[in-house]
């Protein structure tokens, strides 16, 4: 699509009325064209202004409490109902945690090497293959700086109608407190996993189950609360099993 073609339909893209195939093209174009993004920002400001002018009305007292308490109820029932058609992958994820933890000898030997972890991640991929879990990708964490740290990340890219999930296990003797784990894609998108909490001995694990596709995400970073990166890794689907 050329810029002039995109600009002609940008308002529709914003208002959510552009048919999907064309909308997809527009989104692709916008990712790589700053000029059209600027134009879209101007139109978006127009939409925002229109919403205020056309229908901003103070809601009645009490509605806020009602909405917040409904959300509390919703949270109390987590995981949120995911729709009957959606296959739930909790079982696989739970099994995965147990097996991966076991295969890494989590409670045992402290002197494992990164190589070994890499092999384990590959074994894990085999294990999921056996479970029927295709679309599994793995990555190995590399420490930033001289810290002693090992770990793996496993991503399951769901097929349509399923939940995707990510699982990260790390061991960093001496680490305490919490850390953030972020997956990122080459086009700048990020997703955060649940916060990582290090136990005594420096073991920690975290996960995420989501309806979003994890396919675009191919990098992982572990970041301390003060913003310094502790570890990073690249996630690939091509790893073959090793001894």
Residues that bind other proteins (CB under 8 A): 7-12, 14-19, 27, 31, 40, 42-60, 63-64, 66-68, 70-71, 74-75, 80, 187-192, 210-212
Residue given tokens 């979003």 in the structure block: 212
| Binding at 119: pick from Zn ion, other proteins, none (beta carbon under 5-8 Å per type) | none
From 3-11, 91-99, 103-111, 166-174, span contacting Zn ion (CB under 5 A) = 3-11
Based on the shown chain and the rule CB under 5 A, indicate whether residue 136 belongs to the binding site for Zn ion: no
Comparing CB distances to other proteins, the nearer of 212 and 228 is 212
Choose which of 9, 11, 33, 191 interacts with Zn ion (CB under 5 A): 33
| H or E element, residue 147 | none
Comparing CB distances to Zn ion, the nearer of 9 and 101 is 9
In whole angstroms, give the CA distance from residue 112 to residue 148: 11
Rounded (10°) angle between helices 34-55 and 3-15: 30
Q: Is the peptide bond before 79 cis (omega within 30 degrees of 0)?
A: yes
| Binding at 74: pick from Zn ion, other proteins, none (beta carbon under 5-8 Å per type) | other proteins
In whole angstroms, give the CA distance from residue 166 to residue 179: 16
Comparing CB distances to other proteins, the nearer of 142 and 212 is 212
Helices (H), 77-145: 90-103, 114-131
| Binding at 109: pick from other proteins, Zn ion, none (beta carbon under 5-8 Å per type) | none
| Binding at 70: pick from other proteins, Zn ion, none (beta carbon under 5-8 Å per type) | other proteins
**What backbone torsions phi and psi does residue 128 show, to the nearest 5 degrees?**
-70, -35
In whole angstroms, give the CA distance from residue 118 to residue 108: 17
């Amino acid at each position: 699509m050329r810029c002039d073609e995109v600009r002609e339909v940008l308002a529709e893209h914003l208002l959510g009325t552009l048919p999907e195939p064309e909308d997809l093209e527009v989104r692709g174009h916008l990712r790589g064209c700053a000029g059209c993004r600027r134009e879209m920002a101007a139109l978006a400001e127009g939409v925002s202004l229109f919403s205020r002018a056309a229908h901003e009305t103070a809601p009645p007292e009490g509605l806020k409490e009602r909405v917040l308490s409904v959300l509390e109820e919703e949270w109390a029932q987590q995981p949120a109902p995911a729709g009957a058609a959606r296959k739930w992958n909790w079982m696989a994820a739970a099994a995965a945690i147990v097996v991966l933890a076991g295969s890494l000898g989590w409670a045992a030997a402290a002197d494992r090497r990164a190589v070994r972890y890499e092999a384990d991640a590959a074994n894990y991929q085999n294990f999921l293959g056996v479970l029927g879990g295709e679309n599994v990708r793995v990555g190995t964490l590399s420490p930033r700086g001289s810290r002693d740290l090992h770990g793996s990340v496993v991503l399951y890219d769901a097929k349509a109608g399923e939940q995707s999930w990510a699982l990260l296990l790390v061991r960093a003797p001496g680490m305490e407190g919490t850390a953030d784990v972020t997956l990122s894609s080459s086009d700048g998108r990020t997703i955060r996993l649940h916060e990582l909490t290090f136990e005594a001995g420096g073991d920690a694990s975290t996960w995420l189950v989501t309806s979003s596709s994890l396919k675009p995400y191919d990098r992982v970073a572990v970041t301390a609360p003060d913003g310094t990166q502790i570890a990073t890794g690249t996630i690939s689907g091509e790893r073959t099993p090793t001894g």
